[in-house]
Structure 1
Amino acid sequence: MEYAHSKAGASVEHWHPFTDHAEGTALLARLFAEPLNAPDLGELLGLCHDAGKCFNDWQRRFLAVGGRGRRHGRVGIPHADVGAHLLRDAAGPAALAVLGHHKGLTTVAELADLPANPDQAARFAEAQRAFLRAVPRAEDLLNRRDLIPAEWRENRSLRDMGLRLVYSALVDADYLDTSAFMAPTEVRTGEDLTTVNLLARFDEARTSRALPISELNLLRDDIYEQAVQSAELPAGMYRLTAGTGTGKTLTSTGFALNHARKHGHRRVIMVVPFITITRQNAEVLKSKLGAESVLEHHSAVDLPNDSWTKLATENWDAPFIVTTTVQFFQSIFARRPGPMRKLHRIARSVIILDEVQALPATMLVPILDALRILVEHFGCTVLLCSATQPTFDRLPIWRKLTVKDIVTVPKTRLERARTVRFRYWSDPRPTWDEVAQDAATHDQALLIVNTRADARDLYSACQRAAPEHRVLHISRNMCDRHVMATFESAKKALGRNEKLLLVTTQLVEAGVDIDFPTVYRAWATAEAHLQSAGRCNREGNRSEGLVIIFDPAGGRLPAGYYRVGAEVARRHFGPAQANPDNLDALSEYFGEVFHYLKLDSQGFPRNKQKWEHWHHVTHNRSRLNFRDVADGVHRFQMIDEDSVPVVISSYRGPIGETALEHLAEIRAAVGNAASAAKPTRLREAIRALQPYTVSLSKSSVRRAEERGDLVPIITDVLYGWTGGYSQQTGIDI
């Protein structure tokens, strides 16, 4: 008998028979590939993925080392290449899924090179004969030539996405079947959306809170009812364009749950650009759907041990997912099994893209292409949510795609429900001291600027100008625990009607649930102006809020899209021009920005050589190259790749001391290189440190090292901060 796996210390009669593993993996892979319209392909990949383990020398070596644990139990003979070679004729490029089920997707050139020499050819032949004796029914599937759906063969982008999804189905099936043998009590086998129960729970929770009658609340109810009625429409691409503070989170959820019930979608995935909003939305949804139904997945979430949350996060095995834009799209364009394992769960889902205006311009082409393919070929519905809806359907990549609005609000109705007025301050341009002095005339004001350096300068000016106010600061110079603690402190001060000035970067701009009577916004993109207005008189409890858009002398603007958008905004908004909530002006604004970036013609931004490289490798007709695609995407991902995490052990918040414990754990794991458990311990310790990290550019890291402010924990990967850390403003770099 051939074996696939062993347990440390277990005798051979308790090992995992090869045939059982092949059949178990095939059963799950077929189930997972069903929504991809490729069940037979999934089944065959599952049957063949470990075919190389049938090689006699592999089994002899396994019998010698099996049961001794991973540290001493390495067989040392490849096995994935045998199944890939066996599958080349039947599965074509999908054989890459078997070749890379441990190491990741690579290139079709590697398939063409199999076998590389006569010895490898002899190993293949022997293992394949033994495999077909162990799993004889695989032969019929191997003789098929229609396993890859015909439409995948005809479209490059669709083929790429289809193979990624079926690879995910195989990796997840292999992991689950192996885990069922190793630790059966910890395995989750699948939990799709039960819309009837969740809908009833959601509707009850939503209607249980009585809100006062106001123009804003009447508008919220109207928007929600329109969205629920639109849920009856066919699956497709939809837009929810609604002003800030009009309840987009609950409205989009109501649409998604009703739409899923109508069309049999398996789950809802809410994708949010910022961790602060991800947490906020997850808490709201957990309160209305139940914590057991909502999976919160992002880099800063605390995953409890031995819980369904920890297990479900690995493959999104939950009915409602709340995740970040980075997590969602970098998983789609990854090539390694870890981040890709969950991808097959996306098929036949409702995907809510919240604050869609925050999608990075340099990534728009692959993002929009991926969304289009998921809608047109894999049963997804996508809902684009924003108060500042970009005109994506003007771009060539979506020109043939119909995007429908689920809500229509007359301009007169929007005027009646408006909660703020705009004032512009640019001639002459004010200094930071002048802005601070003006803000000090208000009891409570939020001041939003564009860079960390500007936030520090304005914070200092506000401290001088407003000695009777509580002055708080939030920026990414502070670790995440510090940011959240300050944010909560600001909300409590607002609730107690204390005099408060909160100086912040864009961190509290889009979607964050905080309500000031007055907001100051340094000149930026048009969408930033309107998103900032959403933090002013958010609940409509005041007769009118005031949003002051000022153009500071000496103010800084981030490079790239942000600077382009800020300059284009000057031609459309301001004194004697439109306000940022003018939808017609916003449409023209986005059209001009996309044109300037050449997104409306060539398909990639100007002066972006890395993007041109990505465009080349993804549109190469001759051969698939998942390695180059993944590397291309990660060279310009949605977070700054040129940054390094730095651990702040000196933050003295309520639970700041925890960082020191994890620092010690990491140093022990790094030092104990011989430990078999080291990689797992290291990953867990680094993850636990994320709430205590600040991202610094590599140039800042080099300067800090020269000053002696940093200690390398893992060189070029993780550093410990030994320099000064302000309990008000964070790192001073």
Structure 2
Amino acid sequence: MEKALAHISEDGTRTQTVYEHLSGTARLAGAFAAPFGAKEEAEYAAWLHDIGKYSTAFQQRLAGGATTDHSTAGAQEAMKGCAPHVQAAFAVAGHHTGLPDGGNKRAADSADGTLFGRLKKPVEPYDGWREVTLPQSAPPDWANRDPLDFAFFTRMLYSCLVDADFIDTETFMNGQAAPRGNSTALSSLLEKVRTKAAGYLAAQSTLPVSSQRNAVLRACMEKGAHGAPGLYTLTVPTGGGKTFASLAFALEQAAAQGMKRVIYVIPYMSIIDQTAAVFADLLGAENVLADYSCADYKSLEQEKLTPAQYRQLLASENWDAPVVVTTAVQFFESLYANRSSRCRKLHNIANSVVIFDEAQTLPTSYLLPCVSAIAQLVRHYHATAVLCTATQPALEPYFRQFAPELPLQEIVPDTATLYTTLRRTTLCDAGELTLEALTSQLCALPQVLCVVNRRKTAQEVYAALPAEGSYCLTTLLCAADRRRQLAEIRQRLRESLPCRVVSTSLIEAGVDVDFPAAYREQCGLDSLLQTAGRCNREGHRSVEESLVYRFTLEGCGVPQMLRQNVHAMQYAAGCAAALDSPEAVRAYFKELYFARGEAALDTSSILDALRKGISGCIFPFAQVAEQFHLIEAPTRTVYLPVGEGKGLCDQLRSGTVSRTLYRKLGAYSVACYAQQFQALESAGALEPLPNGSAILTDRTLYDPKTGLSMDVETGKGLFF
């Protein structure tokens, strides 16, 4: 009897039997799941995932016949017996189409696509699978103690299966293994960090900033080398050297605990290049993966990739790299995803050190699902998590809900002293200012940063500033022009040339600039202190002369989305002697979260959906994936035919549609709110595209200095 086949090479000269594929996939999946104690269970799922290929219908499919379902058979086998492997059944059922909803056991229909529906679905006979011997296995005990544990383990098991399935298939189809891995050992990367750290620690400096940065670095290296895996905070004022110190902690911890990688999670895509470049310069570009949508290696056709770029592209599929730099959106949305393309990487978060940079930016509306996910990784998947920020959010009560046995450990022992020593600015209350008074004060200073709440306000203030050395930074500028302007701003600051910058909050997210003075429109305390972190950043000026003014703008109320933040700061101001103190920050976040209430910390009811189901549908993996989106702004994209964007827009017009093209266009696009998009469209300034985006046709409405115009004919409407 001929052996059943799983794959035939594209040239038809080679074949892989089903048994060979199941065996190879099981070996890989088991290795992926071993760090969290699920080696045998992953092997079990892998041995079952393609047994439907033993059917005559699938063998005919290989010969050119009709498509057939080969996933359901394995899911049905996993559910047989007195101890069904439910998580394995979910993983097997969804290894091509995505983790399904569980459905309703009684009401499920064989055609509804849920797991319970698939279990009732008739399948083609697959008798040949009896050559497979299933391993004796069961999920770890903790994987079934709680619905959240169950759901998280299901995704991690699914990740092991789909990554192993893809790699085994890829290896066969290519005739050889793809160039994955081959990176430098973490121990060698640690030596590079230790060498650089030794240079910092040996340098003599009279500046308090330098000595305190060294104290932070020493604490991080000591705690990393000797601390157990767990949940940590790194609370250091802006400019205190958190980025390098946290990397040193992570590599020390990974080496000491036998961990596989370091994952650096950054809140905004606008600064990922900056951080990844710093790490690549230190550790070698081949050892640092920057995984985000606009990365260069994702913007080229495969045949144009260099070998190094090709390895990065492969690594981005499953985070097979020693150091990964990614965004919070990518990280958390993947943890709640159900598609194989998003979930392949998840098993590689296990046995890793994960640094959450600017932890105060964890989205409030999804705070509880994010905290739950972090707790899962630390409790069950041999991960260490570090919440790294100058304004540490008050998350202890929420971590206690999900992991009562895990204390939050502060890496730097005396943060109060650190804040006193590293205080580099004086916060001042400028009260209410008219637009004219504000611009007059800005014009009187040769170098100053002003951060406002609305994009419209930024453009208005900029228009009143001297032309030379003035800049307007908002998301109305495309990414290419923002990068260009930031480079010019840094150069002018270094050369002591006039430099007045008015910006929205985007400059607060880790953008490395150093102004002698700053202004911040009323906002939350975290935003105020982030703006202060762009003033006297290096400590070359005295605290008394480095002034940061908070102000309200006459005629401009507080945006709805900031009202609770402003209220919480007013509360914190009454609880602490100084706003730039750990006590004030603690009071601010406690009030902010308390005022919103727990329902507002999970507005899409993600955790309830996993605990209780949705309308009788248990474990609604697909529905949760659809609902979990950290960025929910109702915007539409406008592509700009400026610079290199002109040729890219021409390609769109010619009918070229590809992921590569859209990724390149990302640097020449602006996200518009509905009202602004409609105004541009009504003015005849847009060429609509089938996917709901558009190309700007009136190029006079885009200025490379201020961005896309908000005044289209009527000039009505405030957008922010």
- Cα displacement (A) at 1:17: 2.5
Contact persistence 2:452–2:505 (CA under 8 A): yes
Q: 1:294 to 1:27 in 2, by over 3 A?
A: same
CA distance in 2, matches of 1:515, 1:356: 22
Query: Which residue matches 1:605?
Result: 600
Of 672, 675, 678, the match for 1:696: 672
**Does the alignment pair 1:550 with 2:554?**
no
Alignment equivalent of 2:423, drawn from 393, 415, 418: 418
Change in 2 beyond 3 A, CA 1:663/1:20: farther
Q: 1:186, 1:557 → 2: CA distance?
A: 57
Residues in 1 aligned to 2:470 and 2:423: alpha-carbon distance in whole angstroms: 29
- Structure 1's 174 and 660: CA in aligned 2 closer, same or farther, altered over 3 A? farther
Deviation of 1:320 after TM superposition, in Å, equals 0.4
Q: Of 631, 640, 665, which residue of structure 2 is paired with 1:639?
A: 631
Query: Shift of residue 682 of structure 1?
Result: 1.4
**Are 2:415 and 2:582, in contact at CA under 8 Å, matched by a contact in 1?**
no
1:645-702 superposed Cα distances (whole Å, 9 cap, x missing partner) = 221123xxxxx22x233334445556xxxxxxxxxx6122212211111111234333
Aligned counterparts of 2:436 and 2:271: Cα–Cα separation in 1: 31
The residue aligned with 1:496 is: 495
Match of 2:74 in 1: 83
Amino acid at match of 2:600: P
The CA distance in 2 between the partners of 1:335 and 1:473, in whole Å, is 40
CA contact (8 A) 1:193 1:265 kept: no
* Counterpart check, 1:437 vs 2:440: yes
- Counterpart pick for 1:727 among 665, 685, 704: 704
| Residue 33 of structure 1, CA deviation | 1.1
Q: Partner residue of 1:405?
A: 410
Give 2:246's aligned residue: 252
The 5 Å alignment of 1:44-55 reads: 44-55=44-55
User: Residues 42 and 166 of structure 1 are in contact (CA less than 8 Å); yes or no, is this contact kept in structure 2?
Assistant: yes
The answer (yes or no) to whether the contact 1:368–1:397 under 8 Å persists in 2 is no
Match of 1:205, SS state, is: helix
Q: Of 615, 630, 638, which aligns to 2:625?
A: 630
The structure 1 residue matched to 2:294, chosen from 271, 295, 300, is 300
Deviation at 1:485, TM superposition (A): 0.7
Report the Cα distance in structure 1 between the residues aligned to 2:538 and 2:265, rounded to whole angstroms: 24
Aligned-residue sequence identity (percent) comes to 30
RMSD across aligned positions (CA): 2.2
TM superposition score normalised by structure 2: 0.89
Amino acid at match of 1:163: T
Counterparts of 2:448 and 2:707, CA distance in 1: 21
What amino acid maps onto 1:137 in structure 2?
Answer: T
What are the Cα deviations for residues 602-624 of structure 1, in whole angstroms up to 9, with x where unaligned?
Answer: xx218x8x524x34312217821
Deviation readout 1:209-264 (Å, 9 max, x if unpaired): 65743111000001111121112111110011111100000111111111111111
Q: List aligned pairs for 1:256-275, cutoff 5 A.
A: 256-275=250-269
Change (3 A) 1:688 1:6: farther
In structure 2, what is the Cα distance between the partners aligned to 1:593 and 1:273? 19
Secondary structure of residue in 2 paired with 1:104: coil
What is the CA distance between 1:399 and its match in structure 2? 7.3
Q: How many residues align?
A: 674
Residue in structure 2 matched with residue 478 of structure 1 by the alignment: 477
Counterpart CA distance in 2 for 1:184 and 1:667 is 39
Q: 1:97 aligns with which of 91, 98, 111?
A: 91
Which SS does the other structure have where 2:331 is aligned?
helix
The answer to whether the 8 A contact 1:519-1:547 is kept is yes
Q: Look up the match of 2:107.
A: none
Q: 1:449 deviation in Å? A: 0.8
Query: Partner of 1:551: helix, strand, or coil?
Result: strand
Could you list the per-position Cα deviations for residues 685-720 of structure 1 after superposition, in whole angstroms to 9, with x for gaps in the alignment? Answer: 21221111111123433333232222222332x322
1:381 to 380, 384, 387: 384
Does residue 630 of structure 2 align to residue 660 of structure 1? no
Which residue is equivalent to 2:7? Answer: 5
Partner SS, residue 138 of structure 2: coil
**1:29 matched to which residue of 2?**
29
- 1:404-441 Cα offsets, whole Å, 9 max, x none, are 10102364554343211111111xx1012211111111
C-alpha distance in 2 between matches for 1:48 and 1:244: 52
Gaps of 5+ in 1: 66-74, 651-655, 671-680
**Per-residue CA distance 1:78-105 (angstroms, 9 max, x = gap):** 1111121122234213211111111111
Letter matched to residue 301 of structure 1: A
Kindly indicate whether the alpha-carbon contact (under 8 Å) linking 2:535 and 2:548 is maintained by their aligned counterparts in 1.
Answer: yes
Deviation at 1:197, TM superposition (A): 0.4
| Range 180-189 or range 297-306, more displaced | 180-189
| Pairwise CA distance, 1:282 | 1.0
User: Please, which runs of 5 or more residues in structure 2 have no aligned partner?
Assistant: 104-113, 711-720
Distance 1:550 1:577, change over 3 A: farther
The answer (yes or no) to whether the contact 2:470–2:501 under 8 Å persists in 1 is yes
**Contact persistence 1:444–1:499 (CA under 8 A):** yes
Amino acid at match of 2:27: L
Change (3 A) 1:443 1:398: farther
TM-score by length of 1: 0.88
Aligned to 1:521: 520
Contact 2:221 2:248 in 1 (8 A): yes
Shift of 1:477: 0.5
The DSSP-based 3-state class of the residue aligned with 1:611 is: coil
SS state at 1:105 partner: coil
